[in-house]
Structure 1
């Protein structure tokens, strides 16, 4: 077979559990306040993008095990997990979702990559599309000097770092939040946490999901009107340092930096439409890198225009 197909079912309670576990207060996911968003076309709360990516993370993990690809990861030292997804539509509670995972491909030029194309659809069409891959170098946001250096003890939560305009958000790991995020993403939590047998494995996408909280906090600090001028994700491009994430334990301090928005003006028929890209990085308490990436957003008005 060239692809695997699996069904996903997420209810409203899954959304609540996932957003509570990650402190995501985006009104698009709120079962009561979604109606307060001006021009909201979605007709109700929608699933978190990181929920879908968590399901993909777990499914690809099982796929690697079942297809004897773990040796490939070790042989080529593919220590980085990369998530590159475009959000084409939205998923709603009780949608009949189908994830299509294409057969693994490995290729090597200046870097070695083991990759799977992924598409998630509902009855209306494509919700998400892109790839999940493993590589021997991070594929995204790896430009030299991209992120500022700083002393975590001298920076206050929800402030900017020096002159860089990078917004700093401090978080703490808890097993319970990670378990709830897994459950909210329709993933079996015992595959990651079993304290009786000393099994503790924080999902990569739990760490990256905290980007949403940091972005929302940044928007709030800068006066963004979440009701009249909300932003929506258009793409995620994130590289995770898998070995560093595997060392995480409960009650560890995390440091998340979200850069200032970079304007991107599209060309062609949509010339003049503005997309905003934020570079972001997540660090463990010892300042080892957990993830790095670029998050692209657009105003809801842009999406409605499209």
Structure 2
């Protein structure tokens, strides 16, 4: 049976941008024109918007295949996403998601995993996998036992004695609902006031890192018009135990560490150096809600590599 086709409209982008405070020009229905050498000829869908669409479709897949029992019985508390972005997706562009059959591995530890691919107009938009594990797959060794009280630190500053930029955010049910709707997910599966249901989706807290990165770049006087950056990959590990405790108006401390650029860390099959960020979402008592490793590159470097500038 052919996979169903889905379509984002521009209003979906507007809703997702507003819900996550993402002011990247690439998604703006007017300001995309201000980006130098923009090859996309219009606004493009947010990376975390696509991730949330995948999260919801994987949720439906797990339910249909009765896999949640395995996850619960084996305490596979971490939801992991590894996404490589290949092409951009525009509004009104039909796309399909292919989810490969679940593979269950027991060595070295129990893992449920699925390959995924999102395609449109015979082009691959993204590739990756979704895995359920007992321990985080990404940035697992990081600990924040020695951090000062983040609640007392000023927003958009460096954490003393560390390499981390700090951004304070606040979880709001309304924003999460809007982000779900903007990502073609059914919000009532997560929030239903009449049935006292309020369970945050996995990707929404992670999506707030985009705004944090933009604010960090803004403080560094980055020129978003002449030197735009694009995501090449996301690696995310979300702790479902902590996620289940998140409530409306809870504080989320986002920590961002920018790694030095290196010739040893380049975009596949090119000499384009990646700009890598390690990001974490911490709750009130420094519990790590999510770990995210994200790679970006200047759009200009990609176009040079393709011979388009």
**Residue 277 of structure 2 is aligned to residue 278 of structure 1:** yes
**In the alignment, which residue of structure 2 is the partner of 1:305?**
304
Q: What do residues 54-107 of structure 1 show as CA deviations (whole Å, max 9, x unaligned)? A: 111111111111111111102221100001000000000001111111110111
Q: 1:135-179: CA deviations, max 9, x gaps? A: 011000112458972311331111111142311010111111001
Distance in 2, matches of 1:46 and 1:268, equals 23
Q: 1:137 aligns with which of 127, 135, 138?
A: 135
Residue 293 of structure 1 corresponds to 292
TM-score by length of 1: 0.95
2: CA distance, partners of 1:14 / 1:48: 10
SS in 2 for 1:100: strand
* Corresponding position of 1:43: 41
Structure 2 alignment gaps of length 5 or more: none
Q: Where is the strand percentage greater, Structure 1 or Structure 2?
A: 1
C-alpha separation between the residues in 2 aligned to 1:176 and 1:204? 15
CA distance in 2, matches of 1:224, 1:267: 21
2:183 is aligned, of 157, 182, 185, to 185
Structure 1 unaligned spans of 5+? none
The 2-side partners of 1:181 and 1:150 are apart by 31
Q: Which of these residues, 112, 115, 132, is aligned with residue 113 of structure 2? A: 115
> Could you tell me which residue of structure 1 aligns to residue 195 of structure 2?
197
2:211 corresponds to: 213
Task: Look up the SS of the partner of 1:178 in the other structure.
Answer: helix
Report if aligned partners of 2:209, 2:279 keep a CA contact under 8 Å in 1.
yes
Contact 2:180/2:187 (CA < 8 Å) preserved in 1? yes
**Which runs of at least 4 in structure 1 moved beyond 6 Å after TM superposition?**
none
**Equivalents in 2 of 1:175, 1:145: separation in Å?**
28
Structure 1 residue 269 displacement after superposition:
5.8
Check conservation: 2:258, 2:275, Cα contact below 8 A. Answer: no
SS of residue in 2 equivalent to 1:234: strand
Question: Does the residue aligned with 2:206 lie in a helix, a strand or coil?
Answer: helix
Look up the match of 1:161. 159
User: Conserved in 1, the CA contact under 8 Å of 2:84 and 2:128?
Assistant: yes
TM-score (norm 2): 0.94
Tell whether the 8 Å contact from 2:35 to 2:225 is kept in structure 1 after alignment. yes
C-alpha distance in structure 1 between counterparts of 2:202 and 2:279, whole Å: 15
Report the counterpart of residue 12 of structure 2 in structure 1: 14
Structure 1 residues 219 and 141: CA distance shift in structure 2, 3 A: same
Of 212-221 and 70-79, more deviation after overlay is shown by 70-79
Following the alignment from structure 1 to structure 2, what is the Cα–Cα distance between the partners of residues 147 and 6? 46
CA contact 2:144–2:286 (8 Å) conserved in 1: no
1:242 — aligned with what?
240
Aligned to 1:76: 74
Q: 1:258 aligns with which of 231, 248, 256?
A: 256
Q: Does 1:27 align with 2:25?
A: yes
**1:253/1:144 CA distance change after superposition, 3 Å:** closer
CA distance in 2, matches of 1:180, 1:269: 38
Query: Counterparts of 2:49 and 2:268 in 1: how far apart (Å)?
Result: 33
Q: Is the 8 A contact 2:158 2:165 kept in 1?
A: yes
Tell me the C-alpha RMSD between the 2 structures: 1.8
